[in-house]
Amino acid sequence: MNGIKILGTGRGVPSKLVTNEDMAKIVDTNDEWITSRTGITHRHHLAEGETITDMTVLAARRALENAGISADQIGACIVATLTPDTLVPSAACCMQHELNLPHDTVCFDLNAACTGFLYALHTMECLLNASERKYGLVIGAENLSRITNWEDRGTCILFGDGAGAVVVESRPEWPSISAILGCHGTDQMLRVPGVEKGVPSLIYMEGTKVFKFAVEAVPYCIDQVLARTGKTVDDVDFFVFHQANARIIDLAVKKYHIPQEKYYKNICEYGNTSAASIPLVISELHEMGKVGSGSRVLVVGFGGGLTWGGAMIEFA
């Protein structure tokens, strides 16, 4: 099986900035309470008239330009999201139209909540093995502000909107990303009801239970990826974690003695952006020069489903 590596990255961020002070005007909360418990100071929300398609197209165009790849070279496109503008057509199909990707490009959405980007990367690795065109677009994008319960002070402070994209290439001499994926199907801790269910399609989450799940899932994924690849913590150039809560990341960093120069938190700026979280981090790191050609990045995601995943991703 051919492996994939990242060639380029890009991101699209909404124009509306929402601070903790803004949140205090909506629900009974304050900046100190939010920051101390989550690490979030502000988040971006889609303004009126902005769409998921706007963000995905912007992120994808930037990733293509960064990679030096033209749209007609793309063999497949996957958008990881639980909040597309429309169920049909999918966000990926809308983006295919805007970018003028070839008509035979495989395009579809994938929903694995906050682990969606990793599920999409592994799926892309498999798809490109059977494609004549060996380049793929993988995007994580969310409009969580649209499904946020603004009366729930425990959850409305957490979520933001955004999109991150990567262009990957498949080659037979490259290693697999060694993805570790799993799920434990339950709607008891974290759910969003579907359309026409008689209740609002808003996020419901039991934060304490989800936190406990996350602090167990993260080290499991790290251990599994390191075991599968035969690598150690020292062999990893950078660790990228889903940005759900700063304390979850801090616990993992402490457990594995990860030096400060090998991990990054941007939750303070974006909040929890679900499937967009990991590619937003990767895009920022790439732009800052912290990762690049030859970098080996261990990525961990976890979230609704309940889903979890890890992978070892390299830059070409």
Q: Point out which residues pair with 135 in neighbouring strands.
A: 74, 169
Please check whether residue 273 is in contact with residue 280, taking contact to mean a CB–CB distance below 8 angstroms: yes
Task: Show the tokens assigned to 71.
Answer: 């749209």
Q: How far apart are CA 98 and CA 222, in angstroms?
A: 37
Q: Tell me, yes or no, if 97 is annotated catalytic.
A: no
User: Which residues have CB under 8 Å from 157's CB, separation 6+?
Assistant: 20, 23, 27, 29, 34, 38, 40, 271
Q: Tell me, yes or no, if 242 is annotated catalytic.
A: yes
Amino acid at 128: L
Q: Which ranges constitute the DSSP H helices of the chain? A: 20-24, 31-38, 52-67, 91-99, 116-129, 207-229, 246-256, 267-270, 277-288
Query: Among residues 94, 107, 114, 156, which one is catalytic?
Result: 114
Q: How far apart are CA 286 and CA 314, in angstroms?
A: 12
Task: Show the tokens assigned to 204.
Answer: 């419901």
Query: Among residues 93, 245, 272, 286, which one is catalytic?
Result: 272
Q: How far apart are CA 150 and CA 281, in angstroms?
A: 26
Q: Tell me, yes or no, if 2 is annotated catalytic.
A: no
Query: Among residues 42, 44, 242, 286, which one is catalytic?
Result: 242
Catalytic residue set? 114, 242, 272
